[in-house]
Amino acid sequence: MLRGSAIEGPNRSAHLEGTELESYVEERMLTTTLDQAIAWARSNSFFPLAFGLACCAMEQFHAAGPRMDIGRFGWEAFRASPRQSDLIILAGRVSIKMAPIIRRLYDQMLEPKWAISMGACCSSMGVFNNYALVPADKFMPIDVHVPGCPPRPEALMHGVLKLRKMVQDDPDMGWRRRYDAVGTEEIIPGA
């Protein structure tokens, strides 16, 4: 039975009305748009693709390791299959033999998907400016470039947090426009 303020039980607030009710609700509930809620969920539970090419993969292990612990942000579920992941962290140097394969992996990932280019070798050609490498921007859209050779786990963390903020702030991120980016199609010789 409802009587004044000395009420016990689950229906304490049943007597509130009007502005009191509104402020009561505001203090206790989070209101948001559906987009923002989804973006919050997405950014806190990325499934990175377990993809390490070279030295940067060692620092990627350390970022997932006990000290730097990428699992604090919910990113520890490295998936083996591109079909189950939504983030590809390109860790290491991309050679011309590997580039079409990475592109195929990226195409196999389900939308929405993001890419972090970790290290100097895949962002630009890094230390090796020669015939054998190709910077990742040439064949796939990259969202965050993390500099370093190899970047410390803290640097990778910084890139990770930046991506997380990007996804949280702008749920759409124009990624469909990005995915249709010009200049990133695979070129087949002779075709």
Which residues contribute to the site for other proteins (CB under 8 A)? 50-55, 57-59, 61-62, 65-67, 80, 82, 92-93, 95-98, 101, 105, 121, 124-125, 127-133, 135, 149-150, 152, 183, 185-191
Residue 49 φ/ψ, nearest 5 degrees: -80, 130
Q: DSSP character for 15?
A: G
Q: How far is the CB of 168 from other proteins (least distance, A)?
A: 28
* Residues belonging to the chain: 191
CB nearer to other proteins: give 40 or 179.
179
Nearer to other proteins, 92 or 171 (CB): 92
The closest of 49, 51, 45 to 72, measured between CA atoms, is 45
Query: Amino acid letter at 134?
Result: V
- CA gap 6, 42 in Å, rounded: 43
Shortest Cβ 157–other proteins spacing (Å): 14
At its nearest, how many Å lie between other proteins and the CB of residue 112?
21
Identity of the residue, 6 or 131, whose beta carbon is nearer to other proteins in the bound complex: 131
Residue in the block written with tokens 């196999």: 108
Are 121 and 94 within 8 A, CB to CB? yes
**C-beta of 16: minimal distance to other proteins in Å?**
50
- As measured in angstroms, the least distance from the Cβ of 61 to other proteins is 6
Smaller CB distance to other proteins: residue 39 or 75? 75
The whole-angstrom separation of Cα 154 and Cα 159 is: 9
Report the residue number, 174 or 189, with the smaller CB distance to other proteins. Answer: 189
Query: What residue type is assigned to position 180 of the chain?
Result: D
Report whether 109 contacts 49 (CB < 8 A): yes
